[in-house]
Structure 1
Amino acid sequence: MTDARTPVLTVFRGDEHPPDMGPIEDVAEVRYTDAAGLSDALRGADALFMYEFLSTALPSAWHAADRLQWLHIAAAGVDPVMFPELRASDVVLTNSRGVFDDSIAEYVLGQILAFAKDMPRSLRLQDERTWKHRETERIAGTSALVVGTGPIGRAIARMLRAAGLRVSGAGRRARDDDPDFGTVHATDRLTDHLPDADYVVAIAPLTDQTKGMFDARAFAAMKPSARFVNVGRGELVVTADLVAALRAGDIAGAALDVFDTEPLPADHPLWTMDQVLISPHMSGDVVGWRNELVAVFAENFRRWRAGEPLRNVVDKQLGYVPSGS
């Protein structure tokens, strides 16, 4: 923004008010809204902060965005706002890349340890007051394939390597000299490399190319002893194919933080499978995460007002922030 007038900022907050907004309120006209009021709040607005980042309400309100220059989403994934009208517009899109990297990496390591050390069963036996000795697995020396080579995928790779796993990646471009993954395989050859992995971690962005990439063919390619961890988007997975693979023993287990329907319906078969670990889309949500999201936006808001380059600018055709940006 280069003119001297007070900027108008719309904040789509849903049910929760974002913290630490005082400094921004001091220099801007801030309009807080939910889905019902989004159209009215967008008229005449210069910028939009999508604090309620999972909502799909924006496309139906987009007609009212008559002066919008910049949209920031409080998430790493931008698929909820990647509708055709936004892609075709001049509106700059930025995301919150960097906030969730280490926390999601810790979650992935925790779920791998939970599988290897049979922790869910220990908790069930504790509830039953049953003493049952078992042997468990080592994770050092096992192999992990991280599908998605952005900042979160890299944080996962570094943490798993530190725990002794052999890690490779899968991304758009194959290479053998990656500093975090070593070898990166091309995702269009994914099924060629799934048989080598003890743990398959999905953290790819949701695009037209990645939607449904984990289907019956992918699960059939995995080891029967492999575990699947999804911390990306639920739509990366054909859920019915995952259920079928688990029932057939094509894979040994799944840790799922994201689903194609959220909340996961109470009658969904995944709830009752002993080899499935479920969490409610919380892998990156650690104490203070909301403050960090606002801090990322506030720094970009400062840059925007000063006419400086914005951080985390999304390539709207690719659907993510390009590497090196």
Structure 2
Amino acid sequence: MPVSAGQHPPTVAVLDGGEHPPGLDDLVGDACLRFAAGPAELADALPGSDVLLTWDFTSDAVREVWSDAIAGTGPGTLRWVHTASAGVDRVAFPALLASPVTLTNSRGVFDEPMAEFVLGAVLAFAKDTPRSLALQRDRTWRHRETETVAGKVATVVGSGPIGHAIARLLGAVGMRVRLVGRRAAEGVHAFDELPGLLPDTDVLVLAAPLTEATRGMLHSGTIGLLPRRARVVNVGRGPLVVQDELADALASGRLAGAALDVFEVEPLPADSPLWAMENVLISPHMSGDVVGWKDMLVELFVDNLARFTGGRELRNVVDKERGYVSAGANS
């Protein structure tokens, strides 16, 4: 059943963290916008709102102020929550999941940028780019041999649009790519097959949603199945990895390296040993953030708001049981 605003222009609460989404005011038509920087303002904005846009998708404010009273079925009760992110773990808490509120995400905005980011990390390691930059700063001429990526095996965990985009780009440079998803499908291995795929994996890419099944999936046990030459690239969610156990493996040489864009705690604390490791590339949760990404997020939400107002099917509806947008869903 399509979810809609009913007979009145929708009221939209926007959790913006103090940063208004670019151009949103001019694009939403007759909708009434209620901006909230944090939990206190959101608690005031939600009652009577039809829609919640979580622009600040790193905030736990929605969980903190949620009340079953706002998630009903009559006029002036919340019908739809949209998050300006691909992952929904910040808003997929039990009370929201149990409510009749529809949840959507921003699937489709980040696919290509994140795939390019992963390819860049793979090539940077293979071509020893970090060491070249360090030697350049020291004005040191030191010839080395580097690696080729063609023929190497990449195992990509996450078979959604982001995972498929990553697989396509890694395949384009000659890597042998295996996709791993929740269940087996054409060209996709089931998640429970992963242990058997790790022993010959050269690059393990984590691009899966954070669910109870994937939380802590990379730990000392699974790391032990990887060859010592393997490198890990995590662009999914920090808690996919048991970070201390990964750090120990990197420090001991049990793994060759890691490119980490997401962490258990963000920002990554200054005392984390990961900062000082020469075989680690650290970036601040930016793998999908390219020039114009915020405009694309707004455009997606505005399109969905028009669908909501018109009583049409929304794009990117999240399957609340699985924690992500199912294959074949409207997107």
- TM-score normalized by the length of structure 1: 0.96
Query: Of 207, 213, 216, which aligns to 1:212?
Result: 216
Alignment-derived partner of residue 123 in structure 1: 133
Query: Of 136, 140, 157, which aligns to 2:146?
Result: 136
Query: Of 230, 242, 245, which aligns to 2:246?
Result: 242
Tell me the CA shift for residue 4 of structure 1. Answer: 2.2
CA distance in 2, matches of 1:228, 1:241: 13
Alignment-derived partner of residue 263 in structure 2: 259
Tell me the CA shift for residue 57 of structure 1. Answer: 1.2
Tell me the CA shift for residue 25 of structure 1. Answer: 4.5
CA distance in 2, matches of 1:128, 1:213: 39
Which stretch shows the higher mean deviation, 22-31 or 130-139? 22-31
Where do 5+ consecutive residues of structure 2 fail to align? 72-76
Tell me the CA shift for residue 5 of structure 1. Answer: 1.6
**Code of the aligned partner of 1:59:** R
**Code of the aligned partner of 1:121:** R
- TM-score normalized by the length of structure 2: 0.94
Query: Of 100, 104, 113, which aligns to 1:103?
Result: 113
Residue pairs, 1:1-325, within 5 angstroms: 1-35=4-38, 36-63=40-67, 65-66=70-71, 67-175=77-185, 177-178=186-187, 184-325=188-329
Aligned length, in residue pairs: 319
**Code of the aligned partner of 2:7:** A
Where do 5+ consecutive residues of structure 1 fail to align? 179-183
**Code of the aligned partner of 2:221:** R
**Code of the aligned partner of 1:12:** L
CA distance in 2, matches of 1:3, 1:74: 24
Alignment-derived partner of residue 181 in structure 1: none
CA distance in 1, matches of 2:291, 2:70: 34
CA distance in 2, matches of 1:307, 1:185: 37
Change (3 A) 1:254 1:186: same
CA distance in 2, matches of 1:8, 1:2: 9
Question: 1:252-296 deviations in whole A, cap 9, x for unaligned?
Answer: 000000001000001100000000000000000000000000000
CA distance in 2, matches of 1:126, 1:3: 62
Tell me the CA shift for residue 96 of structure 1. Answer: 0.4
Question: 1:95-123 deviations in whole A, cap 9, x for unaligned?
Answer: 00000000000000000000000000001
**Code of the aligned partner of 2:156:** V
Partner SS, residue 80 of structure 1: coil
CA distance in 1, matches of 2:45, 2:303: 23
CA distance in 1, matches of 2:86, 2:23: 20
Identical pairs, percent: 55
